[in-house]
A = this chain, B = another copy of it.
Amino acid sequence: MGCWLNRLREKYQRHCDSVDRSSPRNKAEKILQREQELLQLAHQLVDEVGLNNLTMEKLVAVSPYSKGTIYNHFCCKEDLLAALGVHSMGLCSELMLKAQSFAGNSREQALAVHYAYHLYGLLEPALYMCVLNCKTPSVQEKASKQRLEQLEKVDKQIAQLCDSFFQKGLEDGSLRIAQQDIAYVSFANWACSFGTNLLLQNAAESFAISRLTETNRVLFNINLMFDGMGWQPVSTDYDYQQSWQKIELHFADYVAMLN
C-alpha cells in the first residue's frame, strides 16, 4: 500500500477531532450523524481531488471507519455520488430560496434565482457537476432506491421553487403567458441557465467563449430568454445590469466565500 493513503489520512486528522459527535439520542440518529460526517468528508475530498478522482478507497482513508462501514452507508460508489448530489442540491436550493427576499420586481427576482444558480456553480464547481453526474445511466442504475427517491424529491422542490417566480410574474401582469405554459417557460430557463453555467465553467478557454469580453454573459443570455417571453420591463427599457449589482449585494455573504 502506497504512502499517499497515509498522507491523505494525516491531512484529515484534524477533522476527526473537530467533528460534532454530540449525544446521538438513539442508534438511528447515530447512523444518520455518521452519514452526514462521511458526506462532509466526501465533499472536502471532491473539492480537493475533483469528482473524477473521488474513490471509495480515499473516503475510507480519510474517514475513521473501515470499508465495510462505508459500504453500510453507501451500497456502491454511485450511491455515494447520488448522496453527494442530494447534498449539493440542498445547498443550491438554500441559495435559490434567498432570491425570494430580494426587493425588486418579479423579473428581477427571477433574475436573482439565476444569480443564485450561477453563484452556486462558482462556489461549488465540483458539486455542480455532481448533480449532472447523478442523471447518468450508471448512477441511475446502481444507486439505492431510497437515494434516488431523495434525489427526485429535491429535484421537484427546486423545480417548484423556480416555477413560483414565473407565477409571480403572471400574477402581477408583467408576464403574459398561459398558466399551463409556466412549466415550459420554467424548463427553458433552467436549460439556458444550466447550459450557460456549465459552458462558462468548463469551456472557458474554448474559442466561442474566450473571445467574449468581460461583459456579463449570464445576464446577457437570461435577458434574451426573458425578453423572448415578453417579460416586462424588457431589457431595452430597464437597467438590469444595475439590478445584477444589487442582487450581488443581496448575496454578499456568499460572494465573500469566493475570496
Contacts and interface: CB of A to CB of B under 8 A. Distances in A.
A112 B234 CA distance: 28
A109 to B, nearest CB: 19
Interface in A178-192: 183-188, 190-192
Contacts of A224: 185, 188, 224-225, 228-229
A11 interface: no
Interface SS of chain A: helix
Contact of A136 (B135, B138, B159, B202): B202
Contacts of A136: 50, 52, 129, 202
A181 to B, nearest CB: 9
Interface string A179-216: 00001111110111111101100110011110110010
A203 B217 CA distance: 25
A164 to B, nearest CB: 13
A152 B70 CA distance: 41
B221 A192 contact: yes
How many monomers of this chain does the complex have? 2
Given A187-B212, A195-B196, A52 B138 contact: yes
Number of chain A interface residues as a range: 35 or more
Contacts of A188: 192, 196, 217, 220-221, 224
A53 B141 CA distance: 13
A155 interface: yes
A149 interface: no
A129 B139 CA distance: 15
15 contacts: A50-B138, A155-B208, A156-B206, A184-B215, A184-B217, A184-B220, A190-B199, A191-B192, A191-B195, A191-B196, A192-B225, A194-B198, A224-B229, A225-B225, A228-B228
